Structure 1
Amino acid sequence: MKRRAIISVSDKTGIVEFARRLSSFDVEIVSTGGTAKVLQEAGVSVTNVSDITGFPECLDGRVKTLHPNIHAGILAMRQNSEHMKQLGELDITPVDFVIINLYPFKETILKDGVKLEEAIENIDIGGPSMLRAAAKNYQDVTVLIDPNDYEKVLDELEENGEVKRETKFYLAAKVFEHTAHYDALIANYLSKQVNDEEFPELLTLTYEKVQTMRYGENPHQKGVFYKEVGNIPASLINAKQLHGKALSYNNINDTNGAIEALKEFDEPTVVAVKHANPCGVGTASTIYDAYKKAYDGDPISIFGGIIVANREIDAETAAEINKIFVEIVVAPSYTEEALDILFKKKNIRVLELGDINTKTPKGTWDMKKVYGGLLVQDFDTELLPAMEDLEVVTDKKPTDREMEDLIFAWKVVKHTKSNAIVIAKDNATLGVGPGQTNRIWAAEQAIDRSGDKVKGAVMASDAFFPFPDCVEAAAKAGITAIIQPGGSIRDDQSIEACNKYGIAMIFTGMRHFKH
């Protein structure tokens, strides 16, 4: 019996040669609209789908294949005698191959200025219906959505006269992944147009694989990197790698944290990160001076870390970076001389991210997978409620110089794992105490790392002081001002301690836990 294939593709890559070779296996090609025209012009014999349905395409092509003559031919189970008997009675020919890729909905919604009406018209109806039907009946129907699979199917037909069952099953699974992705794109796009709820009752996420890692967080774990659909500004996913081996799972996680911290600053800034925590941050009038401030703040921690900058890296800065072991450098651009210098080190990864200064937009979601569930929240795009709402709670008020350093330290502590303390002076970190189980340990760690420069510095805490012990440690080290959220039932004890030691303290009314 002559076999039948339905071909309707928006991506016509390789379709002419595929259809021509498929015809050579005594397969009748049935097609629609633009695909039929392309095949006919190439000399491939084509039966129009309307000749099968006995009904013309209508409604501007919205209805072409939604017909029993098509779907019964796809869904009939060959081993079911009743199915085959009914096909005979209804004079319906079985369909053995379905080759379809869908209207370009993703490409449409990613275009600048796309209107809702255009997006709607690029929602495929008949295509997904045929694909799902064919995938459901995989044991009898070979279904293809990806031109990369054409050759495998043709080779098996050449060798065996038919497609292997395991290949059909693989292709069917691929179809359901594809249609789920397609439907998720549509659902998410439409929800953004009309959904008044901040978080939907049903959340469907879809991502596309970018990279298979050598391993995950540890060598015994597998790891993969997926990306969101669309252009996500200032995302590591958009970075162009200029030098070095591929980023690892941990590299990507840590570099992402470094970029998010960098976005807090508008002036020339360098952020160094180690194990997802800032270990050196500096701002200055030039990127070279900013790097020197970041590096001098805690040179041991920066060794083996990640450097991100929000201005072009020049030769002078590159030469300084090359003096120590740095795993990754990310900047919006580099001078040619800087690249020549950095490329001398084999193991350094050099990435260019042109829009690195773009702030993360409000409404972005921050997600964390937990076993059996997903935590979703607004991305922490805020820094302070408002400058005028900052509350000086001590007798001593911070000087303008101290105030500048307090805001600087507050930006850094926001991106440091809790419990966190940051000590800073002259727009540079001196010591960072991240991820401690109590705040006094974080304070002592940050003070210890600050060395002799701690006198006259300021301290930032990501959460309130439950006891005056942090104030006492700060006073002993020579710190002159503290910024913290406030809100503890023991705030009066911390304020009293600050007044006792002549330290200025500011309450922000906003905390930045980071876990």
Structure 2
Amino acid sequence: MTSQFDRPIRRALISVYDKTGLLPFARALAERGVVLISTGGSSKALADAGLAVTDVASVTGFPEMLDGRVKTLHPAIHGGILARRDLTAHRDALAKHDISEIDLVVCNLYPFEATVASGASWEDCIEKIDIGGPSLIRGAAKNHDFVTVVTDPADYETVLADLAANGGATTLKTRRKLAGMAYARTSAYDAAIAAWMAEERGETFPETLSIAGKRKQLLRYGENPHQEAAFYAIAKDTRPGVATATQLQGKELSYNNLNDTDAAFEAVAEFAEPAVAIIKHANPCGVALGTDLLDAYKKALACDPVSAFGGIIAVNRALDAATAEAVAALFAEVVIAPAVDDEAREILARKTQLRLLATGGMPDPAAGGMTFRSLSGGFLMQNRDAGRVSESSLQVVTKRAPTAAEMADLLFAFRVAKHVKSNAIVYAKGGATVGIGAGQMSRVDSSRIAAWKAAEAGVAAAGGDKGAKSPAIGSVVASDAFFPFADGLLAAAEAGATAVIQPGGSKRDAEVIAAADEKGLAMVFTGLRHFRH
């Protein structure tokens, strides 16, 4: 049974760049007696398939011109799309000018985004800015009370199903949904053009910013069960990670899973050597380098085996069988890797609840890009923290310089500290974290917590022996920002650290340096901080 809001489709305008699924869709329309009007390549494709098609030029009485820039921009087309069928004045205007109604607009746009991504010239990108297409889409979407608009080949079946169920008509519900999708598409298209133009003129923070996201997933809930949430991917951002990942197995990813997994993968991407990061609540509870992934995993787990329970595990190599066997022995929420070997996948398949992700690559930690943080009524936008230090950029400020082994661990620890919530303190030894203090209001508290964590890990490694030696003894310590007082550094010295890396820049640097010298510590300044809030 049809409704008064159902609208039959008698004439369809087809103008598409992406011709995926076009021929069977057009053929199904033609079989229903729908008159097909088309342009350029779309018209040729339909005619070559044996379908009767009316060229737009015969409707407008005007040929395509300006290399195809002008073909559908004509009253004979837009009048037929925009006329309200329930207004006598509109129907009279159509009759006066011999314009026929158009009930369906099928249009997708020139591939501007893909052209920019290919590195094409300015001129080629400009030529791929569609003008007629967005005009058709917006006109049809505005008049959705009477006109159906389709911008995505994935929606062809939806329209055909509607026609089959409603005697050759579409429902208002379908038309409204498609109209909303149409405006979302033109909005994203314009956002991509504006972003490209801003980038081309070297403007990082344009006065007006539009961000287009494609929904990847409706989530069960947000950070808490009473919050709703969804995951959106930004089309332009192809950085390997959770947005590019394929989920190979396991339960649906939650809001917190996605946030923590992103933090884990970004942390492990810092290193060229085989590396593993174990993350809990967006903070590392163990990061390590190894001769291979299994070695790195064992060292990362040893840092805080208690906190690692229920955590996120990230690796920067294809996950192999030996590492997968070790991972399977721990309850983990997510494992993320650039790739997963077939044997490793079979092993982890036994853990049916474990979410296993393969990203297809590793992000470049030195690459640019933007990060966002929401505020009430707005958001903050900044460049990604791609800052790095090298041995040559460090300033030795104490009487004793670090040994070669200490220097390697200092650089490692400071790179890990970049991924720990501030105030961040990281103890490391032998290319592995041995104690991490994160997110405390006082830096000295972070230092004490990291030392306590290290001592607890030593006890665990010794099978519960309370007299076990803390792995913080003989370690180095990294601070993400300067020590405002000597107390944080002294806490590290008491824990057994022998060398310190920190940005420097405090009014009390001289006091902190003197304390380091008194304790026989080596200390270097980076001149670079890594606040992570």
Shift of 1:54: 0.7
In structure 2, distance between residues paired with 1:150 and 1:23: 14
In structure 1, distance between residues paired with 2:49 and 2:341: 50
Equivalent residue for 2:190, pick from 183, 195, 206: 183
1:321-336 aligned within 5 A:
321-336=327-342
Pair 1:447 & 2:451 matched: yes
Amino acid paired to 1:494: V
Give the equivalent residue in structure 2 for 1:432. 436
TM-score (norm: length of structure 2)? 0.89
Shift of 1:155: 4.5
Amino acid paired to 2:280: K
Equivalent residue for 2:491, pick from 428, 453, 473: 473
Equivalent residue for 2:529, pick from 503, 511, 514: 511
In structure 2, distance between residues paired with 1:470 and 1:488: 13
Pair 1:30 & 2:37 matched: yes
- C-alpha contact (below 8 Å) 1:233/1:360 kept by paired residues: no
In structure 2, distance between residues paired with 1:320 and 1:24: 60
In structure 2, distance between residues paired with 1:483 and 1:475: 13
Equivalent residue for 1:483, pick from 497, 501, 504: 501
Equivalent residue for 2:427, pick from 423, 427, 442: 423
Equivalent residue for 1:388, pick from 372, 388, 392: 392
Shift of 1:231: 6.5
Amino acid paired to 1:381: A
Residues 164-183 of structure 1: per-residue CA shift (max 9 Å, x gap): 33332222222111111122
Are the structure 2 counterparts of residues 116 and 479 from structure 1 closer, same or farther at C-alpha, using a change threshold of 3 Å?
A: same
Equivalent residue for 1:362, pick from 343, 359, 367: 367
In structure 2, distance between residues paired with 1:380 and 1:402: 25
Residue aligned with 2:501, SS: strand
Residues 301-342 of structure 1: per-residue CA shift (max 9 Å, x gap): 212112222234433322222222122222334444433332
Tell me which moved more, 101-110 or 221-230. Answer: 101-110
Pair 1:223 & 2:241 matched: no
1:13-412 aligned within 5 A:
13-23=20-30, 27-111=34-118, 113-158=119-164, 159=166, 162-192=169-199, 194-230=200-236, 232-356=238-362, 358-384=363-389, 386-412=390-416
Residue aligned with 2:452, SS: helix
Are the structure 2 counterparts of residues 215 and 475 from structure 1 closer, same or farther at C-alpha, using a change threshold of 3 Å?
A: same
Aligned residues: 511
Are the structure 2 counterparts of residues 47 and 245 from structure 1 closer, same or farther at C-alpha, using a change threshold of 3 Å?
A: same
Equivalent residue for 1:495, pick from 513, 517, 523: 513
Are the structure 2 counterparts of residues 27 and 507 from structure 1 closer, same or farther at C-alpha, using a change threshold of 3 Å?
A: same
Give the equivalent residue in structure 1 for 2:459. none
Amino acid paired to 2:409: D
Residues 3-49 of structure 1: per-residue CA shift (max 9 Å, x gap): 43212222334434443444455543222222223333444332221
- C-alpha contact (below 8 Å) 1:418/1:462 kept by paired residues: yes
In structure 1, distance between residues paired with 2:447 and 2:187: 49
- C-alpha contact (below 8 Å) 1:268/1:284 kept by paired residues: yes
Are the structure 2 counterparts of residues 231 and 393 from structure 1 closer, same or farther at C-alpha, using a change threshold of 3 Å?
A: closer
Shift of 1:241: 3.0
In structure 1, distance between residues paired with 2:173 and 2:248: 41
Shift of 1:434: 0.6
Residue aligned with 2:471, SS: helix
Amino acid paired to 1:456: G
Amino acid paired to 2:408: E
In structure 2, distance between residues paired with 1:437 and 1:217: 23
Amino acid paired to 1:484: Q
Shift of 1:391: 2.2
Give the equivalent residue in structure 1 for 2:12. 5
In structure 1, distance between residues paired with 2:18 and 2:484: 62
Amino acid paired to 2:445: W
**Which 4+ runs in 1 deviate beyond 6 A?**
none
Residue aligned with 1:172, SS: helix
Shift of 1:121: 2.7
Residue aligned with 1:431, SS: strand
- C-alpha contact (below 8 Å) 1:463/1:486 kept by paired residues: yes
In structure 1, distance between residues paired with 2:296 and 2:446: 25
Segments of structure 2 that go 5 or more residues without pairing to the other structure are 1-7, 456-469
Residue aligned with 1:412, SS: helix
Identity of aligned residues (%): 49
Residues 145-202 of structure 1: per-residue CA shift (max 9 Å, x gap): 233434444444452554333332222222111111122222223333x212222222
In structure 2, distance between residues paired with 1:240 and 1:26: 43
Residue aligned with 1:454, SS: coil
Tell me which moved more, 133-142 or 158-167. Answer: 158-167
Amino acid paired to 1:444: R
In structure 1, distance between residues paired with 2:293 and 2:9: 71
Shift of 1:281: 1.2
In structure 2, distance between residues paired with 1:188 and 1:245: 36
- C-alpha contact (below 8 Å) 1:2/1:26 kept by paired residues: no
In structure 2, distance between residues paired with 1:180 and 1:334: 37
Tell me which moved more, 34-43 or 284-293. Answer: 34-43
Residues 236-278 of structure 1: per-residue CA shift (max 9 Å, x gap): 3223333323322211211111111112211221111111111
Amino acid paired to 1:136: K
In structure 2, distance between residues paired with 1:96 and 1:175: 15
Are the structure 2 counterparts of residues 500 and 347 from structure 1 closer, same or farther at C-alpha, using a change threshold of 3 Å?
A: same
In structure 2, distance between residues paired with 1:401 and 1:19: 70
Amino acid paired to 1:70: I
Shift of 1:473: 1.6
